[in-house]
Amino acid sequence: MSEPSPDRASRAALGIIRALRDAGHTAYLAGGCVRDLLIGSAAKDYDIATDATPDRVQALFPKTQEVGASFGVVLVKHEGVAIEVATFRSDGPYSDSRRPDTVVFSTPEMDARRRDFTINALFLDPLDLRDPAGDPNGNEPVRAEPRHRGAAERYTEQGLVIDFVGGLEDIKRKLIRAVGDADKRLAEDHLRALRAVRFASRYGFDLDEETAEAIRRHASELRGVSRERIGDEVRRMLGHPSRHLAAWTLQYLGLDEPVLLEPSRKAAPKRLGRIGDESRYWTRLAAWAIDRGSIIEATQIAPLVARYREALNLSNEERDGLKAVLGGVAHLLRGWPGMSTAAQKRAAASDWFLESLRIVASENPEEGARIKTRVEQLQRTPSGLAPEPLVDGRTLIEAGFAPGPVFKRVLDAVYDAQLEDRVSTAAEAIELARLLAAEVGEDEDESGPV
C-alpha cells in the first residue's frame, strides 16, 4: 500500500475517533503524531488510543486486522487508510528488554506513563476545538474542568491536549525527558537510549540532564538489544539531515561503542555533517567511519565492513555498498591525479564513484571540484566515459585468436586504448590485439621456466 497523504491520514483518524466517540468511547490521538503536530513537524502516521477493547474496535469497524491483539492493537482501515487503534494499557514487567511480558488494559494516565519520553506521552482530542485566540489576554486557554484528574489540559489549534507527564512544558523547553525514573525506564528497554538520541537530534532538543546521565550509565547494556533494532534506529538517525548531531550525541554518551562494536571515539563527525541528503546510507556510514579515525588502508576495509555488518544488521546490498565506497575513497585519495586516462574513466564509471566522491568532497571541497571537472572533460572525449567495447572475446576468437591465459589481459589493454582514443574502430582494435598478444606471449616465454 502506498503512503496516504498526511491530509487523508488525519481525516481518516478523525473519522475513527468520531465513530468511537459516537459509540460511547474515549478516543484520542496519541504518541508521535501529537508530538509532531505540536512541534510543527509533519506527522508520519496517526495512532489512536481508546478505552474500547480490541474486540469492541473490531466489532465497530468493518475492515480491521489484528496486528498485536495481545498488546491491544488493532489496525483499522478507514477511508482507504490504515490506522493503528490501541486500547489504553499499562505494560507489565519486561523480561527480554524489548516487549513487556504482559499488558493490562487500563486508564489514559497509565497509558501515558508506560511511554518512553514525555513528549511522546501526550494525548490530543482533535474534536474538542475552542478558539485558542478567544482569550482577550492572549493566555493559552485551559479547560475549566479537567476531563482527567491529574492531567494538565490545554487548548491548541489542533484541539485539546491532555498531559499527564509534563510533556507540553518539555516541548516548550525543547527537552527529551524520560517519563518517570530514567534509570528504571532505560533498564526496561535499553533501545530507549537510541530513541532519545534520535528524537533529540531530529528536533534539535536537549537531553534532560538526568535522562542523559542514565543513558551514559547504562550505555554498555545496549548490547543486550537485538542488532536488528539497533540497526533500524541508526538507519533512521543517519537518514535525517541532523545525522551528524545524532552521531556526535551517540559518541558523547558513549553509545557509539555498543552501537558500532568498536572503541568509543570523540572526533567530530565533520564529513558526515557535509555529506548531503542525496547520499546512500552506506556512504553516510563510510563518512562516519572515516570521521571516527578509521584509517582506510585496503587491508582495514574488510574487517571494518564485517564489524559494521554485524553491529548494524546491514543487508547484503548495504554491506557491498559500504565496502565499495570505502575502497573507492582510498582509491581516489591515493592518487586520482596520477592515474592514466583509462584508469580515471574506469573509476568514474564505477558504481561507487559518485558516492566515494561525496566523501572526498566533504573533506576537501577543492579536490572534489577538481575531480568533477576532470570527469566532465573525460565525458567530452570522443570515446566518452564508458563506451561499448569495440572488441570482445567473441570478436577476437572470430579473428583467429586462441582463447588462453593472455586473453583477458589483451582485452583489458585494448579497452584501455579505446578509452584513451588510441583506437576508434574494430579493425584498429583487432590489430592492436594482435600486437599485444605477440608481446605478451614473448614476455610469458621469457619469464616462464627454462
- Binding residues for ligand ATP, rule: CB under 6 A, are 31-32, 44, 47, 115-116, 120-121, 189, 191-192
Nearer to ligand ATP, 73 or 301 (CB): 73
CB of 44 to Mg ion, least distance (A): 5
- Choose the contact partner of 120 out of Mg ion, ligand ATP, none; CB within 5 to 8 A by kind: ligand ATP
Nearer to Mg ion, 197 or 296 (CB): 197
- Choose the contact partner of 116 out of ligand ATP, Mg ion, none; CB within 5 to 8 A by kind: ligand ATP
Nearer to ligand ATP, 31 or 258 (CB): 31
Interaction between residue 32 and Mg ion (CB under 5 A): yes
x/- track of binding to Mg ion for residues 129-168 (CB under 5 A) = ----------------------------------------
Closest Cα partner for 268 from 293, 231, 285, 286? 293
Nine cell digits for residue 239? 537518514
CB of 301 to Mg ion, least distance (A): 36
Distance CA 53, CA 59 (A): 10
Centroid of chain to Cα 6: 21
Nearer to ligand ATP, 179 or 406 (CB): 179
Nine cell digits for residue 274? 557535509
Q: Are 154 and 63 in contact (CB under 8 A)?
A: no
CB of 33 to ligand ATP, least distance (A): 7
CB of 317 to ligand ATP, least distance (A): 23
Nearer to Mg ion, 198 or 280 (CB): 198
Nearer to ligand ATP, 148 or 370 (CB): 148
Stretch that binds Mg ion, among 32-40, 129-137, 149-157, 278-286 (CB under 5 A): 32-40
- Choose the contact partner of 4 out of Mg ion, ligand ATP, none; CB within 5 to 8 A by kind: none
CB of 41 to ligand ATP, least distance (A): 9
- Choose the contact partner of 192 out of ligand ATP, Mg ion, none; CB within 5 to 8 A by kind: ligand ATP
Nearer to ligand ATP, 117 or 353 (CB): 117
CB of 409 to ligand ATP, least distance (A): 53
- Choose the contact partner of 50 out of ligand ATP, Mg ion, none; CB within 5 to 8 A by kind: none
Question: 10 Å Cβ neighbour count for 179?
Answer: 21
**Could you tell me the CA-to-CA distances from 423 to 132, 377, 410, 430, 433 in Å, in that order?**
77, 19, 14, 10, 11
Kindly tell me the burial class for residue 76, based on how many C-beta atoms sit within 10 Å of its own C-beta (0-12, 13-18, 19 or more): buried
**Which residue of this chain has its Cβ atom nearest to ligand ATP in the complex?**
32
**Which residue of this chain has its Cβ atom nearest to Mg ion in the complex?**
32
Nearer to ligand ATP, 44 or 408 (CB): 44
Interaction between residue 254 and Mg ion (CB under 5 A): no
Distance CA 419, CA 349 (A): 12
Stretch that binds Mg ion, among 27-35, 238-246, 329-337, 433-441 (CB under 5 A): 27-35
Interaction between residue 269 and Mg ion (CB under 5 A): no
Distance CA 311, CA 73 (A): 31
Centroid of chain to Cα 362: 19
